[in-house]
C-alpha cells in the first residue's frame, strides 16, 4: 500500500513514539516529530487547531484512542461513533485544517486487515 506519506507526527507517549519510529523506518520517512496535542488526554478540538502549523502534504498521525477516533469524526463533520481500535488506520482527505467543509473518509482498515495486506 503506497500511501505516499511525507511526514509523521506522534504523541510523545512511549507506545506511540515507538510505533512512529517503526513506521518511519519501514516507510523510509524522516524521523517522527513529537506533538503534544497527540497525547491521549487531549481533545479533538485541540488537535485539529494545532495541525495546520505542523502538517506536511500527506501526514501520518500516531496517537491514542479515543482521541484519534474523535478527531476523525470531528474532521468528517459527523455525529456518529467511530472506534479505530488498536493499530487501526484510516485515510482522510480535507480541503484545509480546520476544515471549511466536512472531510472525506478514503479508507478505514483494522489491524487484522493491515496484517493481511502485509502478507501480500
* Helix, strand or coil, per DSSP, at residue 72: helix
Domain assignment of residue 34, given as a range? 7-118
- Residue 91's DSSP bridge partners are 107
What's the pTM value of the predicted model, to 2 decimals?
0.91
Mean pLDDT of the chain: 92
Question: What average pLDDT score do residues 30-57 get?
Answer: 95
CATH, residue 48 = 3.40.50.1240
Residue 1 lies in a domain: no
Residue 2 has pLDDT above 80, yes or no: no
**Cell numbers at residue 100, please?**
471549511
Q: Is 20 exposed, middle or buried (0-12, 13-18, 19+ CB in 10 A)?
A: buried
Band of residue 71 on the pLDDT scale cut at 50, 70, 90: very high
Residue 2 lies in a domain: no
Phi, psi angles (nearest 5°) of residue 9: -110, 135
Separation between Cα atoms, residue 90 and residue 45, nearest integer Å: 19
Amino acid at each position: 500500500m503506497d500511501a505516499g506519506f511525507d511526514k509523521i507526527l506522534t504523541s510523545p507517549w512511549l507506545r506511540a513514539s515507538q510505533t512512529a519510529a517503526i513506521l518511519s523506518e519501514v516507510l523510509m520517512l524522516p524521523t517522527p516529530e513529537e506533538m503534544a496535542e497527540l497525547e491521549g488526554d487531549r481533545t479533538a478540538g485541540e488537535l485539529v487547531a494545532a495541525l495546520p502549523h505542523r502538517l506536511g502534504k500527506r501526514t501520518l498521525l500516531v496517537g491514542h484512542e479515543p482521541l484519534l477516533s474523535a478527531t476523525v469524526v470531528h474532521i468528517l463533520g459527523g455525529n456518529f461513533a467511530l472506534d479505530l481500535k488498536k493499530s487501526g488506520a484510516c485515510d482522510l482527505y480535507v480541503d484545509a485544517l480546520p476544515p471549511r467543509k466536512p472531510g472525506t473518509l478514503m479508507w478505514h482498515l483494522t489491524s487484522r486487515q493491515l496484517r493481511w495486506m502485509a502478507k501480500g
